[in-house]
Amino acid sequence: MERALFLIFALTAIVAAFNVPLRRHPLHSVLALLVVLGALTGLYVLLGAYFLAVIQVVIYAGAILVLFLFVIMLLNLRAEEARLERRPLLRWLALPFAALLGVEIAYLVRLFEENPVPSGTSVGVTESIGRELFTTYLLPFELTSILILIALVGAVVLARREGR
C-alpha cells in the first residue's frame, strides 16, 4: 500500500516537474508546478512529516504560486512573448548546474544510508520542529528572518522608485 502510494506520488512529481519547463504557456507551467507540490506533499505525509507537508501547501501553493498566477494574469503573458526570452548560451549553463545537483543528491543519499533516521520517530511533529528551530538552529533561523526583512524593504524601495 505504502509502496504503491509512493510510486504514484513520485511518478506524478517527476512527470509534472518535466512539464514545468517544457510547457509553452507560463500559466500551464505554474499549474504543473502546483501538481509537483501536491505530489511532494503526499510524499511528506507518507514520511510522517505532517508539519512540513501542510506548511509547504500553505506557503508555496497557497501564497507563492497564487502570486505567480496573479502576475501572469495581470501582465497577460502570451506563449510567444515567453519564447523570445530563450537564449542559446544560457541553455549550456544548465549542464554544470545539473552536474552540481547530481553531486549534491549523491552526497545526501550517502549521508542517509550511513546514518538513517529510525522510523516511527517524531521528527516531523510540530513541537519537535519548533523546539529545534528555537534552540539548535536559532542563529540560522534569525538570520533567515533578517534576510526576508531585507528583501521586503528592497521590494518596497524598488516599487516606490518605479512609481515616481
Partner 1 sequence: MGLIVEAAIKIVIVFGVVLTFLAYLALFERKILGWIQLRYGPNRVGPWGLLQPLADLLKFLFKEDVRPTTPNPILFSVAPILSLVPALMTYAVIPFGDRFVLFGREITLYITSVNVGLLYLFALSGLGVYGIVLAGWASNSKYSLLGGLRSAAQMISYELTLTLSVVGVLIQAGSLDLVEIVRAQSGTYWGILPKWHVFWYQPLGFLLFFIAAIAETNRVPFDLPEAETELVAGYHTEYSATKFAMFYVAEYANILAVSALATTLFLGGWNGPGAARAPLLGVVYFAAKTAVFLFIYIWLRATLPRFRYDQLMRFGWKVLLPLAFANVVFSSAMALVG
Closest distance of CB 103 from partner 1, Å: 34
The smaller minimum CB distance to partner 1, of residues 78 and 108, is found at: 78
Which has the closest alpha carbon to 145: 156, 136, 134?
Answer: 134
Give the three cell numbers for residue 66: 497564487
The smaller minimum CB distance to partner 1, of residues 102 and 130, is found at: 130
Closest distance of CB 31 from partner 1, Å: 8
> Do residues 41 and 57 touch, judged by C-beta distance below 8 A?
yes
Closest distance of CB 50 from partner 1, Å: 5
For 10, other C-beta atoms within 10 Å of its C-beta total: 15
The smaller minimum CB distance to partner 1, of residues 76 and 115, is found at: 76
Report the alpha-carbon distance of residue 130 to residue 137 in Å, rounded. 10
Q: By the criterion CB under 8 A, which residues form the site for partner 1?
A: 27, 34, 50-51, 54-55, 57-58, 61-63, 66-67, 69-70, 73-74, 125-126
> Do residues 98 and 21 touch, judged by C-beta distance below 8 A?
no
The smaller minimum CB distance to partner 1, of residues 126 and 136, is found at: 126
